[in-house]
Structure 1
Amino acid sequence: MTPEPLALPTSYDDWPAWFRARTEDELARAAELVDALREAPPSDPREVLRQWDRAAGHLGNAAAVGSLFGNVHPSAEVRDLADAAEQEAQRIGTAWGLDRALYDVFAAIDDAQVADDPEAARLLAKVRDDFRRSGVDKDEATRERIAAVRERITELDQEFGRVIRDDVRTIRVTPEQLAGMPEDWLAAHPADDEGMVTVTTDYPDSMPVRMFVRDQEVRRAITVAFLDRGWPATEPLLTELFALRHELATTVGYADWPSYDADVKMIGDGPAIPAFIDKIVAAAEGPMRRDLAQLLERYRRDHPDAVEVPGYDYNHYAELVRAERYDVDSQRVRTYFDFGKVRAGLLEVTGRLFGLRYTPVDVPAWHEDVTTYDVFRDGEPERIGRIHLDLHPREGKYKHAAQFTLAAGVAGEQLPEGVLVCNFSRGLMEHDHVVTLFHEFGHLLHHVLGGQGAWHRFAGVATEWDFVEAPSQMLEEWAWHADVLRTFATDAAGEPIPAELVAAMRDAAASGKGIYARTQMFYAAMSYWFHADRVHGDDAPDLTDRMVELQARYAALPYLPGTHMFASFGHLGGYSSGYYTYMWSLVIAKDMFSAFDPDDTGDLFAAAAVDTAHRYRDAVLVPGGSRDAADLVADFLGRPFSFDAYAAWLAR
Structure 2
Amino acid sequence: MTGPEQLQPLSLPAADDDWAAWLDERCRGSLARARAMRATLVDVDPADVLAAWNDLHVELANAFSVAGLIAQVHPDKAIRELAEQVEVEANRFHTELMLDPGAFAALSAAPTEHLDPAARRALDKSLRDFRRAGVDRDEVTRAKLRDLNERGVELGQAFSRGIRDDNRTTTVAASALEGLPADWVADHPAGDDGRVTLTTDYPDTVPFMTFSQDAAARRAVMTSFLNGGWPQNDKVLAELLAVRHEHAQLLGYSDWADFDAEVKMIGRGAAIAEFIDSIAADSLAAGQRDIAVLLERARRDDPAVEAIDVANWRHYAEVVRREHFDVDAQEVRRYFDFTKVRQGLLDVTGRLFGLEYAEVPGAPSWHGDVTAYDVSLGGEVLGRIRLDLHPRDGKYNHAAQFDLVPGVRGVQLAEGVLVCNFPRGLMEHDDVVTLFHEFGHLVHHVLAGRHDWVRFSGVATEWDFVEAPSQMLEEWAWDADVLASFATDEAGTPIPADLVARMRAGEEFGKGFLARTQMFYAAISYRLHVERPDDITSRVLELHDAYNLIKPIPDTHFHTGFGHLEGYSSAYYTYMWSQVIAKDLFSAFDQDDLFADGPAQRYRDTVLAAGGSKDAADLVADFLGRPYNADAFRAWLEASPEEK
- Could you state the TM-score of these two structures normalised by the residue count of structure 1? 0.96
Confirm or deny that 1:486 pairs with 2:484: yes
Q: How far apart in 2 are the matches of 1:127 and 1:173? A: 55
Q: Choose 189-198 or 522-531, whichever is displaced more.
A: 189-198
Alignment correspondent of 1:537: none
1:91-132 Cα deviation digits (max 9, x unpaired)? 000001111111111222344343xx1011111111111111
Residue identity matched to 2:87 = E
1:151-199 Cα deviation digits (max 9, x unpaired)? 0100000111111011121111222221111100011111223332111
SS in 2 for 1:376: strand
1:244-281 Cα deviation digits (max 9, x unpaired)? 00000010111100000000000000000000011101
Alignment correspondent of 2:77: 76
Confirm or deny that 1:88 pairs with 2:89: yes
Output aligned runs, 1:541-560, within 5 Å. Answer: 541-560=534-553
1:324-362 Cα deviation digits (max 9, x unpaired)? 000000011010000000000000000000000100002
Counterpart pick for 1:29 among 26, 33, 36: 33
Contact 1:347 1:358 in 2 (8 A): yes
Confirm or deny that 1:61 pairs with 2:65: no
Residue identity matched to 1:184 = D
Confirm or deny that 1:632 pairs with 2:608: no
Alignment correspondent of 2:642: none
Q: In angstroms, what is the RMSD of aligned CA positions? A: 1.1
Q: How far apart in 1 are the matches of 2:78 and 2:298? A: 49
SS in 1 for 2:418: strand
Residue 43 of structure 1 deviates from its aligned partner by: 3.2
Q: How far apart in 2 are the matches of 1:354 and 1:89? A: 35
Contact 1:64 1:86 in 2 (8 A): no
Q: How far apart in 2 are the matches of 1:197 and 1:361? A: 39
Confirm or deny that 1:616 pairs with 2:617: no
Q: How far apart in 2 are the matches of 1:49 and 1:196? A: 64
Confirm or deny that 1:41 pairs with 2:41: no
Alignment correspondent of 1:564: 557
Gaps (5+ residues) in structure 2? 640-644
1:428-471 Cα deviation digits (max 9, x unpaired)? 00100100000000000000000111110100101100000000
Alignment correspondent of 2:400: 402
Alignment correspondent of 1:206: 205
- Deviating beyond 6 angstroms after TM superposition, the runs of 4 or more aligned structure 1 residues are none
Residue 620 of structure 1 deviates from its aligned partner by: 0.1
Counterpart pick for 1:523 among 493, 512, 521: 521
Alignment correspondent of 1:385: 383
- Could you state the TM-score of these two structures normalised by the residue count of structure 2? 0.97
Confirm or deny that 1:464 pairs with 2:462: yes
Residue 541 of structure 1 deviates from its aligned partner by: 4.2
Q: How far apart in 2 are the matches of 1:364 and 1:305? A: 56
Q: How far apart in 2 are the matches of 1:272 and 1:417? A: 35
1:283-333 Cα deviation digits (max 9, x unpaired)? 101110111121112112112244421220111111000000000000110
Q: How far apart in 2 are the matches of 1:20 and 1:78? A: 11
SS in 2 for 1:173: strand
Gaps (5+ residues) in structure 1? 535-539
Q: How far apart in 2 are the matches of 1:541 and 1:71? A: 30
Q: How far apart in 1 are the matches of 2:310 and 2:41? A: 57
1:229-254 Cα deviation digits (max 9, x unpaired)? 00001011000000000000010111
Confirm or deny that 1:648 pairs with 2:635: yes
Alignment correspondent of 2:151: 152
Output aligned runs, 1:433-512, within 5 Å. Answer: 433-512=431-510
SS in 2 for 1:12: coil
Alignment correspondent of 1:8: 12
Q: How far apart in 1 are the matches of 2:607 and 2:111? A: 31
SS in 1 for 2:155: helix
Contact 2:67 2:86 in 1 (8 A): yes
Alignment correspondent of 1:330: 329
SS in 1 for 2:589: coil
Q: How far apart in 1 are the matches of 2:112 and 2:45? A: 16
Q: How far apart in 1 are the matches of 2:286 and 2:474? A: 21
Contact 1:174 1:195 in 2 (8 A): yes
Residue identity matched to 1:285 = L
Alignment correspondent of 1:374: 374
Residue 11 of structure 1 deviates from its aligned partner by: 5.3
Contact 2:397 2:420 in 1 (8 A): yes
1:201-224 Cα deviation digits (max 9, x unpaired)? 100000000000111111000000
Output aligned runs, 1:344-359, within 5 Å. Answer: 344-359=343-358
SS in 2 for 1:112: coil
Alignment correspondent of 1:121: 120
Residue identity matched to 1:85 = V
SS in 1 for 2:375: strand
